[in-house]
Amino acid sequence: MPEEVRDRVIRCIAEAQHLDPETVTIDSTFEELGIDSLDGINILFALETEFEIDIPDDAAQNIRTVREMVEGVERLLAEKVDSRPQEQA
């Protein structure tokens, strides 16, 4: 996976959770990081702002790890690129 997206996701999580980014890894689970449902929506908001994407409720529901979150963001970024020509048309 591209380095950059991973690092930006980790930064968003760390900032939202007031954690040292060093303590957040790609293999961290939300449980390990103490992320509950309210923290989760706050992180989704941070990611939507950081990447200028819209994360649908159903896409977000079952995410439990940093890796799943990075993969989800990458998917949405790819869709955003795909849809760009259609928007212009």
Partner 1 sequence: MEPRRVVITGLGAISAIGDNVAELTAALRRGACGIRPIQLVDRSKLRFSNGAEVAGYDPVRYFDPKEASLLDRFAQFAVIAAREAVAQAGLEAGSPLFRRAGIVTGSCVGGQTTEDEGFVDLYLRGRPRINPLIIPKTMANAGASRISLEYGIKGPVYTVSTACSSSSHAIGQAFWMVRSGIIDLAITGGSEAMFSMGILKAWEAMRVVSPDTCRPFSRDRNGLILGEAGAMMVLETLESARSRGAPILAEVLGFGMSSDAHHLTQPSVEGPALAMQAALGDAGLAPEAIGYVNAHGTGTVANDPTETAALYSVFGPRASKLPVSSTKSMHGHTLGAAGALEAVASIAAAREGFLPPTVNFTEPDPACDLDVVPNVSRPGNPEFLMSNSFAFGGLNAVLVFRVL
Identity of the residue, 25 or 49, whose beta carbon is nearer to partner 1 in the bound complex = 49
Shortest separation between residue 48's beta carbon and partner 1, angstroms: 9
Binding mask 31-50 for partner 1 (x = CB under 8 A): -----xxx--x--xx-----
Identity of the residue, 6 or 63, whose beta carbon is nearer to partner 1 in the bound complex = 63
Shortest separation between residue 49's beta carbon and partner 1, angstroms: 11
Who contacts 28 (Cβ-Cβ below 8 Å, separation ≥6)? 65, 66
Is 52 a binding residue for partner 1 by CB under 8 A? The answer is: no
For residues 10 and 21, the answer to whether their CB atoms sit within 8 Å is yes
User: How many other C-beta atoms are found inside a 10 Å radius of the C-beta of residue 39?
Assistant: 15
Helix 37-51 to helix 66-88 angle, to the nearest 10 degrees?
40
